Amino acid sequence: MKASILTTVLLALVCFLIVAEKARAQIDGTPEGPSIDGYTSIDYDPDTNTVTAYSETDIPHYGVRSVYDAYVYMSVTNDSGAILASDIGRDYTHIGFTSVTVQVAGDPTTTYTANATHKARTRLYDEYYQDFYPYRYIIDYWDDYFFGFFEGQYINEPWFYHFFRPGTDPVTRRSPYINLGNTYDSASVTTPLRTPHHLQVVNDNYDPNGNGCGGLSRKITYRVVDVSGNPVGNISIIEDFGGTVYDSCNGKNINTTSTCRHYVSADGTFIDNLSTGCPSLTGTCGAEATDHWQWCRRRDGAHITLATIDYRVHYNYITANGLERFDVGTELFP
């Protein structure tokens, strides 16, 4: 019982035609006929600090898409090869087209690559039971256009490829997924260098019982930005009080971390939580310190001060640079 049929595509790379920075690989001397296309792109938006990757698998010929479904898998990696995001698209409605889009926040001076694998999935098959040892239930998928010809050729082309069918001799296979090849793009997505310069206030909120024993807590969200006010992305920072700070509410010393950490999120923000310890001795107990938020520069390990903030953190009031609340957008400098 034949329940599904597929078409085949042949990719031969004879030349690259460069058009608008996109390369097209085409075959020469192959009979014209039904084809399957793969396309991948990636771009960086400096205004939102967002890397957007897109990939599609397209089966334009009606006869082919009537028996094959389109499939695409795409992942986005950084220049260390780590996968940051991925997605899978499959044509469940038999229109011969599927696509995926993924987005990640950009880090400075990082090259991002979108890698996509394009497949055709056969829909026609024969199923039968093998009535002799080892008595297996078998499904044979029909690859009538022999797109399976391209498997194992390690096709890996930038931007775009176009597969022409190599013939129409029907063949069967055990897997419905035919791996046609891979496209990739990394030409335009090396994010610019954004040197951390200062802090910008994103939010400033209070909790009247935030310290757990009736005292105030204040949560300030800062963004690390460059000299033009653009977010710099995920960097390592460290907090430096310049020495030990004493909290008179609980009689203990407050010590900052001695190591750099990735407190800053991909959008360039981090949160500073301010409150006294418990139990409180008086309504005015607390701690005071001059705080230095510093960027840990990777290339030489130097600590570069981004902002200096005078904190007065007491049980019943909290000020930063003499203010009980920052306006959103306030800029703080060394």
Which element (helix H / strand E) includes 284? none
Checking DSSP bridges between strand 156-158 and strand 177-185, what pairing results, if any?
Answer: parallel
Query: Which pLDDT score, from 0 to 100, does residue 334 have?
Result: 93
* Token code pair at residue 256: 């900052």
- Quote the CA–CA distance of 223 and 271 in Å, as a whole number: 9
What backbone phi and psi angles, to 5 degrees, belong to 182? -125, 140
pTM here is 0.56
Per-residue pLDDT of the chain (334 residues; tens, 9 = 90+): 444 332 223 222 222 222 222 222 233 333 445 688 999 999 888 777 788 999 999 998 888 888 899 999 999 998 888 999 999 999 998 899 999 999 998 776 788 999 999 999 998 888 877 777 777 777 889 888 888 888 888 888 888 888 777 766 678 888 889 888 889 887 455 666 678 999 999 999 998 877 878 888 899 999 999 888 888 878 889 999 888 899 998 888 887 777 787 778 878 899 999 988 887 666 788 999 999 999 998 767 889 999 999 999 998 899 999 999 999 999 999 9
Query: Which pLDDT score, from 0 to 100, does residue 148 have?
Result: 87
Query: Which pLDDT score, from 0 to 100, does residue 301 have?
Result: 80
Fold for 198-332, please state it.
Answer: Immunoglobulin-like (2.60.40)
Helix (H, G, I), strand (E, B) or coil at 100: strand
Q: Which residue has the tokens 């006010």?
A: 229
- Quote the CA–CA distance of 221 and 106 in Å, as a whole number: 20
Q: Pinpoint the residues of the chain covered by CATH 2.60.40.10.
A: 198-332
- Quote the CA–CA distance of 102 and 89 in Å, as a whole number: 11
- Quote the CA–CA distance of 206 and 202 in Å, as a whole number: 14
- Quote the CA–CA distance of 307 and 260 in Å, as a whole number: 16
Look at the chain and count its residues.
334
Class of domain 16-185 as given by CATH: mainly beta
- Quote the CA–CA distance of 198 and 332 in Å, as a whole number: 6
